[in-house]
Copies of this chain bind each other. A is one copy, B any other.
Amino acid sequence: MAEHSNHHAEAAIPQTMQETGAEERDPESISLQQPLLKRNRTLSSTPLAMVGAKVSHIESLDYEINENDLFKHDWRSRSKVQVLQYVFLKWILACLVGLLTGIIATLINLAVENIAGYKLLAAVSFIEKERYLMGFIFIAGANLLLTAIASVLCVCFAPTAAGPGIPEIKAYLNGVDTPNMFGATTMIVKIFGSIGAVSAGLDLGKEGPLVHIGSCIASLLGQGGPDNYRIKWHWLRYFNNDRDRRDLITCGAASGVCAAFRAPVGGVLFALEEVATWWRSALLWRTFFSTAIVVVVLRAFIEICNSGECGLFGKGGLIMFDVSTVTVTYNAWDIIPVAVIGIIGGVLGSLYNYLLHKILRLYNLINQKGKVHKILLSLTVSLFTSGCLYGLPFLVECTPCDSSLSESACPTNEGSGNYKKFNCPDGHYNDLATLLLATNDDAVRNIFSTNTSTEYHPLSLLIFFVLYCILGLFTFGIAVPSGLFLPIILMGSAYGRLLGIAMQSYTSIDQGLFAVLGAASLMAGSMRMTVSLCVIFLELTNNLLLLPITMLVLLIAKTVGDSFNPSIYEIILHLKGLPFLEAHPEPWMRNLTVGELADAKPPVVTLRGIEKVDRIVEVLRNTTHNGFPVVEEGVVPPMGLAVGATVHGLILRAHLLQVLKKKWFLREKRRTEEWEVREKFTSVELAERERKIEEVAVTKDEMEMYVDLHPLTNRTPYTVMEGMSVAKAMVLFRQVGLRHLLVVPNYEASRVPPVVGILTRQDLIAYNILNAFPHLAKSAGREKGS
């Protein structure tokens, strides 16, 4: 990074750059060999950003409206019809996002249920013939194969497809553009990887991946297709900006949750509470529309599958874990067990966060060693999982079936259903096999089942709980698409049911409800959501009477969890080094002014309103900034007084590159007319972002020419005066959704530069500020420590 740090250091640059055009042509192939977060070196040239190993090199997004002359003209020239086109298309896109997410989610479900179902049936047939070893070899082999497919896809084609993807989406909606996150390759790998990983019986869910898939669909639709094969349809040009893409991706994330849990309102609320940074009423409505479409699609497929055409898939309707049949009766005393569930859930959840953080750091060390290590790690976890799932049921004793149950209900040997026979004699069932030798969804359904208080032995539940704690911790970090929801639900439901057995004599609450509440408490303890989790659980279990106690459990668990550590998504964001801008400034930020912050950075690089080409080339080659203040010198204002330099606005790197590429040069210093710029540039071209200075060829003659930057300059950048506290500047930065914030001087003298600094996202990250101003770290530490 050092060679890019300051353009003053190296003034000698090649005068013609035609020979440098061929470098780094294929960003896709490069990104696969480099570590994930180091591709773009934007924002890296500040000393603040260079301190600390956690700083990433990720682009920020332009949510600010770039009010330059061309934009104003473009806006004025839009007719009523075009505005209607835009609104109509926005709704069509929201509809398509819902439609495609619904279809893909159903296909994933179909594939998983059939692959996993037939695999389990085959294993059961080996067990029935008492060929136990063959059964193990078969199931372990199938799982290894499925894991290998998922892992190889992830490692070789799209490393960003590993993990849940939710933290990156959260960062994107905050304004951080993680590279290769929403591409077509990523989406395809995520779909097939998720099918493989979930059918392999690994302790992970398809929920997080579905959120990511929904967001990928939204992003691809918005830009008109994959990066290299975009539809150049002129209608879509309105959507080629970061603001509209943000809205679409929010719809995609909500659709993903909706498709995963069949919870339309829960999906909207999840997007609102956990994922989105900015929110408007109109967006709430559009998101709701997308999830409504998803539900319609899901219902249509369920209707089709209920007629038995979907193989092993097709049992159950829109509600996944229906517990509405149980009568919920509780009195004032039951508030005590409910509080206990919440408290223990909060403690367990934060403990899970803590341990997962440690294990992810360990896994990072292994994963850094190369692709083979990543794949081997996944295969090891798969083998361990297969061994435990298959072997542990042999340890418990068989239980005779309750005589009140019909013969077809107990024991069963089918794919789903309670009371699995496994290795037991007729009329007996193996309770641990009921939980372990099933798909994860079925396992949850079985453990949530109500009015079955004698079905599970405490010992079996304890084995299940401990096993899933271990699996949940060690499975998440491997290189396959993995969701966090289901592992936590599995753990939580086991813990809740165990607690239910322990408190059996003190309360009349059903054990199945204890399992539901346990799952909710662990979710709240780890993910720290409240309203969205509450609605998701409501929609999952279809029992409105549970609402008051669910709310209490969630609130208690979140409160307890928050007193120990941040939420799991925040931990992952931090681990990945994404520069996420928090909602609240730290208290010590009030003691620092933006002027002091700007002084700690290298001097700001400014351009003049009419600038020489070689200066522009020099600046672009030697800095990695994405915006440059345009300053006017010695202008005589209308009042006739001689004045110093004045800020004209801010110009973006992308626009400077367009100028160079289009060779929009002037022989002499003069202001251009509006029609000249309109003739040369379209707003579609200006919306393009990906271009490198190395690809631009400028001849020696052209270097001596001039460019009129005025028409392309954003004339209304947001500014703060240098005396503003960092805390208030950060509120402005985040609330308005900025990428660059100009710092202007308090004292207005003719020789003081009109811009004293420019602040970006990286400069406002607490970690970076504390590194540059260690004395603040002390006071921050004192406050935390005391």
Contacts and interface: CB of A to CB of B under 8 A. Distances in A.
Interface string A304-335: 00000000000000110000100000011000
A515 interface: no
A786 B75 contact: no
A782 to B, nearest CB: 10
A541 to B, nearest CB: 9
A507 interface: no
A718 B723 contact: no
Interface string A629-661: 000000101010111101100000000000000
A67 B281 contact: no
B331 A303 contact: yes
A548 B749 CA distance: 64
A319 B544 contact: yes
A273 B281 contact: yes
Contact of A746 (B79, B292, B642, B646): B646
Nearest to A277: B281
B332 A67 contact: no
A749 B551 contact: no
A292 B555 contact: yes
Nearest to A748: B748
B534 A288 contact: yes
Contacts of A535: 265, 535
Interface residues of A, number: 86
Contacts of A751: 639, 641
Interface string A245-265: 000000000000000000011
A47 B265 CA distance: 47
A72 B727 CA distance: 12
A748 B644 contact: yes
Contacts of A750: 641, 748, 750
A558 interface: yes
B724 A728 contact: no
A530 interface: yes
Interface stretch (A10-18, A142-150, A362-370, A730-738): A730-738
Nearest to A547: B264
Interface stretch (A294-302, A404-412, A466-474): A294-302
A749 B641 contact: yes
A288 B556 CA distance: 12
A643 B750 CA distance: 8
Contact of A288 (B79, B280, B551, B736): B551
Given A716-B724, A732-B732, A265 B303 contact: no
Interface in A529-579: 530-531, 534-535, 538-539, 542, 544-545, 547-548, 551-552, 555, 558
A336 interface: no
B75 A590 contact: yes
Given A558-B285, A720-B719, A721-B647, A548 B752 contact: no
A32 interface: no
Nearest to A638: B747
B724 A732 contact: no
B723 A548 contact: no
Contacts of A319: 544
Contacts of A723: 715-716
Contact of A281 (B583, B591, B637): B583
Interface string A185-221: 0000000000000000000000000000000000000
Given A67-B725, A548-B264, A639-B752, A285 B735 contact: no
A167 interface: no
Nearest to A721: B719
A80 interface: yes
A336 to B, nearest CB: 14
A746 B331 CA distance: 68
A157 interface: no
Q: Which of A547, A639, A732 has the most CB of B within 10 A?
A: A547
A282 B531 CA distance: 11
A552 B291 CA distance: 10
22 contacts: A72-B590, A72-B591, A75-B587, A273-B284, A282-B583, A284-B531, A285-B530, A285-B531, A285-B558, A288-B531, A295-B551, A542-B544, A637-B747, A639-B747, A641-B751, A643-B747, A715-B723, A716-B721, A718-B732, A732-B732, A736-B736, A748-B748
